């Protein structure tokens, strides 16, 4: 849905879901009353992944700070179910620690980007006219530059801490929610209940906060779910390219990048577990987002 | 139509100006400014002041911005002090290679995705459709770098069919003389684009198949292949035109990752190495070029769409 994802990525199963109408009928998504099976699967995977990353290290103790070269590049076996990497770190344990930063940053970016985007879009749509024009041109400008390029420039000028990384990623992700909310805000402000607020002397702030934003909440929630998936993905790309959190922090992208040096040595356990894990978690968030979209009957764009 | 075009043109111009402002501000808000970036971390305040005076960097920001735009308008994108060569010369060598990689992958992906998407739409919800949907869904969910690593592991490390490194060479001519080495980077980009395009093509063909003019064509006895060729295909490829415009930023992003992984000597790799060595003029020059290409792509897609689809022209 945002910076790094494919254009108009309205969730992975969007196109599949958008053709439920029989031939001849208007193509519209069918309103569901219960969350879909894929949504349940997605949610379950997310819960399991959170347990794995945050509770796992409490049960499965590994040393992820001091290297142990005597135990480097061990195949999966006794003591190391998924083997070790070139520094002798246990891969299974490192997956858990690396997942913590991915999930935390992904969620934080989604929350921050959505908050900024919603406020920006609601104000622009409600204000209309020249204010709307200027605010939306700012969005267009940031969207015109591929995010990864801006990210690399920003990441080289500041050695990123977790907080800075969250801010930078969110800075490049709030445009999509702002466009979505602006569109809804434009139509909502002409509705009677919003105009009634103004007739009764309610201020613009009140109209936006109490009436416009609550009515866009479905769109916001659905978009935020996709934002988490995108943030995890771009964080992995950034770490893979070596511009993520600096060592000793463990990241999924960093593990993959490290393991990719040993492809020709046949150390498959250094790339497959982490690669598959990234794909599964990203798919899970997309499943959940698709299911929520169908459930809440949100049409993105 | 003219009004619409003028509006779109003006809009694109505003966005391009906005991009130059962002890039200019980035260049000037880097720690120590351009002088620090060029003279290095150990430059003394005196030498920085002298540098700033010499290059007009002590002028007020708006004046500097106008100078910067003036340079850009004259085609001067900056100078790499790290590589001791102008950004223009770097780009004139590397940009064709990137455009070739991105262009040929886009083309192959469209050629494969269009018939497959239509076939899926015709056999909707049958096993062929479900199979192909699963494949494109799986490809679609894969991060670019992970797909690239998978292909390297399988086709290069294990089966030893293709080399894992892209062809090396300064010019495009040298690069295309080694087609075997081009296979993996192109294949990765094709698969990723294919996943996206076939989904769009399928949805778009399903929509066209449901239109009344298809029923009319069939009921007047037009053979099925003619219905598909002259009605479904022509009306369903419209979204692909827009898609090309919209997917430019994402194509460049995927291109950067792929160039880095396969060591393909294009703009993406140049950008990556410049980011590593903090060669800001190169980074910002490439950013400007890519942003302008993106804006131009969107503009052209809109124009093409308006030309191809009369409903937009007259609304």
| Residues A92-106 pLDDT 10s | 888 888 888 889 999
Percent of chain B with pLDDT over 70: 95
Percent of chain B with pLDDT over 90: 2
Amino acid A1: pLDDT: 36
Nearest CA-CA distance, residue A172 and chain B, Å: 13
Q: What is the pLDDT of residues A168-191, one digit of tens each?
A: 888 888 888 888 888 777 777 777
Task: Tell whether pTM > 0.95.
Answer: no
The stretch A200-222 carries a mean pLDDT of 76
Q: Which two tokens stand for residue B151?
A: 């292909």
Nearest CA-CA distance, residue A133 and chain B, Å: 10
Q: What is the pLDDT of residues B40-61, one digit of tens each?
A: 778 788 888 888 888 777 778 8
CA–CA separation, A296 vs A282, rounded Å? 21
What's the pLDDT band for A78 if we cut at 50, 70, 90? confident
Q: What is the pLDDT of residues B124-161, one digit of tens each?
A: 888 888 888 888 888 887 888 888 888 888 887 778 88
CA–CA separation, B145 vs B256, rounded Å? 10
**Planar angle of CA B18, B65, A173, nearest 5 degrees:** 30
What's the pLDDT band for A112 if we cut at 50, 70, 90? very high
Cβ of A12 and B202 within 8 Å? no
Please identify which residue in the block is written with the tokens 């799986």: B138
Please indicate whether residue A230 or residue A88 has the higher confidence score (pLDDT): A230
Contacts of A236 in chain B (CB under 8 A): 143, 145
Cβ of B283 and A152 within 8 Å? yes
Please indicate whether residue A42 or residue A195 has the higher confidence score (pLDDT): A42
Nearest CA-CA distance, residue B169 and chain A, Å: 23
Give the least confident one: A118-122, A137-141, A230-234, B241-245: B241-245
Alpha helices for chain B (secondary structure H): 2-28, 33-39, 45-54, 61-73, 87-122, 127-141, 144-151, 172-175, 179-209, 212-219, 224-226, 234-236, 238-262, 267-276, 280-308, 310-313
Residue B169 has pLDDT above 80, yes or no: no
Q: What is the pLDDT of residues A234-281, one digit of tens each?
A: 888 888 888 878 777 888 888 888 888 888 877 888 888 888 898 889
Cis peptide before A248 (omega within 30 of 0): yes
Cβ of A153 and B250 within 8 Å? no
Q: Which of B:203-232 have CB within 8 Å of A?
A: 203, 206-207, 209-210
Amino acid B9: pLDDT: 87
Amino acid B124: pLDDT: 80
Q: Which two tokens stand for residue B154?
A: 């399988």
Amino acid A111: pLDDT: 92
CA–CA separation, A53 vs A228, rounded Å? 16
For residue A284, the surrounding DSSP H or E stretch is helix A272-296
Q: Any residues with CB less than 8 A from the CB of A82 and at least 6 apart, and which?
A: A76, A90, A91, A92, A95, A269, A273
> Crossing angle for the helix pair B179-209 and B87-122, nearest 10 degrees?
50
Q: Which of B:234-293 have CB within 8 Å of A?
A: 243, 246-247, 249-250, 252-253, 256-257, 260-261, 271-272, 275-276, 278, 280, 283-284, 286-287, 290-291
């Amino acid at each position: 849905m945002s910076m790094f994802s494919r254009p108009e990525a309205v969730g992975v199963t969007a196109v599949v879901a958008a053709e439920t109408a029989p031939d001849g009928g208007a193509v519209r998504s069918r309103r569901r009353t219960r969350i879909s099976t894929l949504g349940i699967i997605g949610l379950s995977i997310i819960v399991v992944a959170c347990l794995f990353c945050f509770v796992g290290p409490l049960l499965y103790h590994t040393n992820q700070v001091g290297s142990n070269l005597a135990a480097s590049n061990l195949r999966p076996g006794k003591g190391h179910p998924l083997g070790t990497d070139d520094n002798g770190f246990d891969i299974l344990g490192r997956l858990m620690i690396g997942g913590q930063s991915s999930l935390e940053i992904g969620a934080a970016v989604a929350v921050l980007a959505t908050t900024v985007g919603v406020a920006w879009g609601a104000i622009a749509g409600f204000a209309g006219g020249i204010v709307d024009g200027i605010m939306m041109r700012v969005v267009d400008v940031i969207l015109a530059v591929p995010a990864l390029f801006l990210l690399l420039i920003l990441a080289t000028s500041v050695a990123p801490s977790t907080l800075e990384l969250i801010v930078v990623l969110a800075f490049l992700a709030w445009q999509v929610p702002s466009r979505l909310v602006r569109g809804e805000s434009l139509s909502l402000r002409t509705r009677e209940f919003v105009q009634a607020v103004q007739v009764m002397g309610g201020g613009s702030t009140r109209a936006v906060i109490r009436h416009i934003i609550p009515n866009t909440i479905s769109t916001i929630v659905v978009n935020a779910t996709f934002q988490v998936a995108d943030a995890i993905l771009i964080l992995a790309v950034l770490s893979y390219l070596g511009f993520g959190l600096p060592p000793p922090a463990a990241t999924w992208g960093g593990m993959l990048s490290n393991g990719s040096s040993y492809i020709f040595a046949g150390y498959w356990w250094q790339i497959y577990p982490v690669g598959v894990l990234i794909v599964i978690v990203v798919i899970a968030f997309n499943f959940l987002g698709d299911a929520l979209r169908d459930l809440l009957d949100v049409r993105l764009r | 139509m003219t009004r619409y075009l003028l509006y779109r043109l003006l809009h694109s111009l505003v966005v391009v100006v906005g991009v130059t402002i962002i890039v200019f501000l980035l260049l000037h808000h880097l720690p120590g400014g351009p002088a620090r970036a060029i003279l290095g971390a150990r430059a003394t305040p005196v030498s920085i002041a002298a540098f700033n005076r010499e290059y007009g960097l002590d002028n007020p920001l708006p004046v500097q911005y106008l100078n910067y735009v003036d340079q850009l308008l004259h085609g001067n994108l900056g100078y790499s002090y790290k590589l001791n060569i102008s950004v223009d010369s770097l780009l004139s060598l590397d940009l064709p290679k990137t455009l070739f990689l991105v262009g040929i992958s886009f083309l192959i992906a469209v050629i494969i995705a269009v018939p497959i998407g239509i076939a899926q739409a015709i056999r909707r919800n049958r096993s062929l459709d479900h199979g192909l949907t699963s494949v494109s869904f799986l490809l679609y969910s894969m991060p670019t770098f992970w797909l690239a690593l998978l292909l390297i592991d399988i086709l290069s490390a294990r089966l030893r069919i293709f080399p894992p490194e892209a062809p090396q060479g300064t010019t495009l001519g040298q690069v295309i003389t080694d087609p075997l080495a081009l296979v993996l980077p192109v294949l990765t980009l094709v698969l990723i684009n294919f996943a996206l395009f076939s989904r769009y093509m399928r949805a778009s063909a399903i929509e066209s198949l449901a239109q009344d003019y298809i029923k009319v064509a069939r009921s007047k006895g037009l053979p099925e292949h003619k219905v598909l060729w002259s009605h479904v295909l022509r009306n369903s490829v419209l979204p692909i035109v827009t898609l090309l415009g919209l997917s430019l930023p994402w194509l460049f992003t995927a291109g950067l990752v792929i160039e880095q992984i396969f060591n393909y000597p294009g703009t993406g790799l140049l950008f990556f190495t410049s980011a590593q060595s903090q060669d800001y003029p190169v980074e910002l020059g490439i950013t400007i070029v890519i942003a302008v290409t993106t804006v131009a792509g969107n503009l052209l897609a809109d124009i093409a769409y308006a030309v191809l689809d009369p409903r937009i022209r007259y609304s």
